[in-house]
């Protein structure tokens, strides 16, 4: 299996200040996530790790607006007046700014428009890392378009919370949406998201379209991020009505219950008859993940991978969440193993 990986992701490294005594100073979406995955992949006989192609901005701009890319590229330099003595960027967040003000105003105004939360700080290397992350996803899409059954994009930062011109939840560019948009020229595409958190960005991008079917299994947003999206009644609008499905999961969901719900989701994917599948592979459903209240084991990830692989659809697998670095690499290998059998 081709595995597309770029060391550029390491340029997105965020030191987080302690806000109070006892607070953790760890930013969970860290470069160590990819390091533990690479260590696990290198122990397999099937992972062929290769750098992504530099594919330019055209495919990214097919999903995200030029104004938003300009914001990501220039935000750090505009924030320089707000950098404290430790070099930590302070994000002067201001909510509720209209689009005209955001695109012509100061950096606090732009933050208020382009950011949905404070979990997307931007450092000097963030923009370059996000572009290389998108290239990893696009390279995986190109690989499956070239008749390979499966390819993996080690996308970091992740992407499924990013909308057309918003970032949030550790996500800046929506790698899955960019890959799906590029693939749709060759036939119908389905996006299956198995991250712990609802894929609000992916949902919003394709919500009114019938050519990309989107489905997400995730913690009920009544108790988990992003809270404002991911509910079962959200099924698409206009021409896209019926082409999006959410499966909110109760706290404590184990392997058996998860696979029962996944079976329902996969039946919908199969009924759509896509030529390609983009799998947003979040591993933060793990029983060991610090952000999860689900109970998916390593064997559960293997079962999930087996069920998806049994669809026999050419699949671009893109990394999303997963924050226990002791478990992440081996859990991802367990998910991928069935695709290599």
Task: Name the residues annotated as catalytic.
Answer: 161
Cα diameter, the chain: 56
- 3-state secondary structure string across the chain: CEEECCHHHHHCCCCCCCCCCCCCCCCCCCCHHHHHHHHHHCCCCCCEEECCCCCCCHHHHCCCCHHHHHHHHHHHHHCHHHECCCCCECCCCCCCCCHHHHHHCCHHHHHHHHECCCCCCCCCCHHHHHHHHHHHHHHHHHHHHCCCCEEEECCCCCCCCCCCCCEECCECCCHHHHHHHHHHHHCCEEEEECCCCCCHHHHHHHCCCCCEEEEEEEECCCCCCCCCCCCCCCCCCHHHCCCEEEEEECCCCEHHHHHHHHHHHHHHHHHHCCCEEEEEECCCCECCCCCCCCEECHHHHHHHHHHHHCCCCEEEEEECCCCCCCCHHHHHHHHHHHHHC
Which CA distances in Å does 47 have to 41, 147, 164, 238?
6, 17, 32, 42
Q: Give the span between the Cα atoms of 26 and 17, in whole angstroms.
A: 9
Burial class of residue 232, CB neighbours in 10 A (0-12, 13-18, 19+): exposed
């Amino acid at each position: 299996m081709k595995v597309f990986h770029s060391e550029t992701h390491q340029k997105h490294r965020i030191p987080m200040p302690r806000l109070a005594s006892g607070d953790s100073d760890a930013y969970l979406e860290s470069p160590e996530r990819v390091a533990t995955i690479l260590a696990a992949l290198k122990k397999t006989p099937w992972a062929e790790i290769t750098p992504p192609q530099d594919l330019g901005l055209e495919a990214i701009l097919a999903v995200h607006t030029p104004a938003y890319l300009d914001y990501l590229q220039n935000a750090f330099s505009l924030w320089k007046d707000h950098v404290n003595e430790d070099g930590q960027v302070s994000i002067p967040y201001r909510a509720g700014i209209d689009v005209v003000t955001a695109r012509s105003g100061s950096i606090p105004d732009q933050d208020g428009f382009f950011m949905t939360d404070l979990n997307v700080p931007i450092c000097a290397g963030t923009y370059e890392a996000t572009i290389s992350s998108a290239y990893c996803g696009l390279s995986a899409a190109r690989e499956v378009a070239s008749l390979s059954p499966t390819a993996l994009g080690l996308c970091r930062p992740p992407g499924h919370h990013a909308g057309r011109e918003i970032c949030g939840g550790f996500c800046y560019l929506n790698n899955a949406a960019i890959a799906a948009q590029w693939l749709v020229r060759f036939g119908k595409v389905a996006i299956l998201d198995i991250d712990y958190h609802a894929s609000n960005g992916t949902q919003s991008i394709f919500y009114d379209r019938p050519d990309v079917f989107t489905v997400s299994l995730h913690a009920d947003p009544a108790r988990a991020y992003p809270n404002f999206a991911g509910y079962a009644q959200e099924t698409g609008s206009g021409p896209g009505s019926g082409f999006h499905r959410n499966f909110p999961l109760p706290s404590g969901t184990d392997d058996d219950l998860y696979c029962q719900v996944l079976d329902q989701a996969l039946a919908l994917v199969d009924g759509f008859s896509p030529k390609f599948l983009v799998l947003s592979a979040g591993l933060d459903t793990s029983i060991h993940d610090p952000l999860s209240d689900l109970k998916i084991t390593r064997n559960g990830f293997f079962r999930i991978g087996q069920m998806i692989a049994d669809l026999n659809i050419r699949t671009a697998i893109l990394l999303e969440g997963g924050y226990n670095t002791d478990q992440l690499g081996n859990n991802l290998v367990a998910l991928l193993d069935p695709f290599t059998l």
